[in-house]
Chains A and B, each alone.
Chain A
Amino acid sequence: MLQALKLPVQPMTEPMTLLEIANLTKSFGGVKAVEDVSLHLREGIITTLVGPNGAGKTTLFNLITGHLRPTGGDIRWQGQSIVGTSPWKIARLGVARTFQDLRLFSHMTVFENVLTVMEKSAWFWQSEAGSVSERHRRVHEILDATRLLHKADVRANDLAYAERKFLSMARIMATNAKMWLLDEPASGLDPRSYDRFVALLRSEVRRGITICIIEHNLEIVVSISDRISFLDQGRLLADGEPEEILGNPELSSIYFGERS
């Protein structure tokens, strides 16, 4: 019955699929955290994953980035399967992420946090990342855009909460990834920071970045989403335009816990 909620896809108007998830399943012992999820993340738009806690949203991210191995199904990045590829290789293919608990490089300075992300090689010689001065200039730009420039020499540990959230964003901006997976990047921000955050996301999407974001705040969901995918108990219940998903009374009753 819930399967019927899945909305038809219109191939003519849809942008190209960058990342395709096919029948993905992940079990932890007897618990199915993700169950038979199929989803297309399309290029150049913001797809929002919504659903109650424990719906499997973060697990889905961990499966995409290779931090977890799926029990079944496939994940294809630009047509190529990336299941079983190590996380650092997937990152270099162009998939970057943030973490719900941020995982900043806490004893490094704000500047170093961003700089180290640009340094691609394990050697001293950075073949792809440009000259030292270019990299420093780019870090400077990113810190300016996230308003962290005055904190450049502060250790990540010593930042205020909102600044830590923006540092997490600054770090992902320093990658040259095509796709960003953002795990509740706006949670706990005050309304003014929200606005800055939404503006930041918009400008990055204009730059050609494809974004998949986990978000609970409906105000933000409404203002940023091009598409919404609704998960509950590991399954994808619905996937479509924001109005369709948010206007569906059955989904909102699941989301707000009025399950009968």
Chain B
Amino acid sequence: MIAYLVNLATLVCINAILAVTLNFIMGYAGIFSLAHAVFFGVGAYVAAFIALQWTDSLLLQLPAAMLVAGLISVALALPALRVRGDYFVAASLGFQVLAATVFSEWKSVTGGIGGLVGIPPASIGGHAFTDPVEFLALAGVTLVLVVVLTATIVRSSFGRSLKAIRDSESAALAFGKNVALIKTLSVFYSTAICAVAGVLYADYLSFINVESFTIDASTLFMAMVIVGGIGTVWGPVVGAVLLTLLPAALTYLPFLPRTEIGSVQQMIYGLAMVLLMIFKPDGLMGIKRGEA
């Protein structure tokens, strides 16, 4: 039972990092991306590839994964950020579908549909995180660092510039904000930290395949942000906790046949979203409209 809870808590931490980083661009930069799972995947594959080929050292896997994910996102962001609003969502959706195909077809790197197996546990300075409780501590500390760092950025001059661009891009330009640079930096940060979650995920499960990095995952991360409260510090964490634990909680309902859990879960998601948009449109942690 303890092992089961530790497992859930670790996944909650990883999902929370993903939600926090997605919220950074959605809530503060106004960039709605349906491709967040791609960068989660890039982080995971880079970590797995390095772990299987060279070293299990986190200190090498982390920067490599962050750099690869960040650079890919910037290469895409430069042209994509020229299209505005709704069109960017469509462009990111297209990229998500494309990337999922690459993940499942590029067999020499990603292992194809079957994925990569037998990824060795991560280590720092020769200490391997084989004990699940130790790994949970690692994931928890990482989450705390990510939340603190993100909150610090949001409250800095950079964060204010981001929010200004979100609220009115043309006014931000008219007040001397280098909009393209600021957006690109924010995308780089968001995807690089997103890749950190990917590294933890690959090292924790020791098995990854394309299933975890599809459009379904991207939608789930977006749901976490919206349910918890977009543009808030703790909202995405709350959203990640709820949406990770919900499927687990459903398995404890005795009257539900195990085979039906999947569809019941979808119905509950749908219902919860509708109710939330009616009663708390800014998310559970959201500031009520009209309040200062």
Mark A residues whose CB is within 8 Å of B: 65, 67, 86-89, 91-92, 96-97, 99, 103-109, 112, 115-117, 119-124, 126, 153-155, 158, 171, 175
Contacts and interface: CB of A to CB of B under 8 A. Distances in A.
B167 A106 contact: yes
Interface in B139-168: 156-158, 160-161, 163-164, 166-168
Interface of B: 156-158, 160-161, 163-164, 166-168, 170-179, 181-182, 185, 231, 290-292
B177 A108 contact: no
Contacts of A105: 163-164, 167-168, 171-172
Nearest to A158: B292
29 contacts: A65-B174, A67-B174, A86-B173, A87-B173, A88-B172, A88-B177, A88-B178, A88-B179, A89-B176, A97-B174, A104-B171, A105-B163, A105-B167, A105-B171, A107-B166, A115-B160, A116-B164, A116-B175, A117-B175, A119-B157, A119-B161, A120-B176, A122-B158, A122-B161, A122-B177, A124-B157, A124-B158, A158-B290, A158-B292
Contacts of A104: 167-168, 171
A112 B158 contact: no
**Residue of A65, A121, A154 contacting most chain B CB atoms (<10 Å):** A121
A91 B173 contact: yes
A122 B175 CA distance: 12
B230 to A, nearest CB: 11
Contacts of B170: 67, 87, 99, 103
Nearest to B185: A122
B157 A126 contact: yes
B31 to A, nearest CB: 15
B78 to A, nearest CB: 15
B157 A116 contact: yes
Given A87-B173, A119-B161, A155-B292, 11 more contacts: A67-B173, A87-B174, A88-B178, A105-B163, A107-B163, A108-B160, A116-B157, A116-B163, A120-B176, A124-B158, A158-B292
B283 to A, nearest CB: 14
Contacts of B161: 116, 119, 122
A121 B160 CA distance: 11
Nearest to B166: A107
Contacts of A117: 175-176
B160 A119 contact: yes
Nearest to B155: A112
A116 B160 contact: yes
A91 B168 contact: no
A119 B159 CA distance: 11
Contact of B168 (A65, A103, A155): A103
Contacts of B166: 107
B163 A108 contact: yes
Given A88-B179, A158-B290, A96 B160 contact: no
Contacts of A123: 158
A88 B167 contact: no
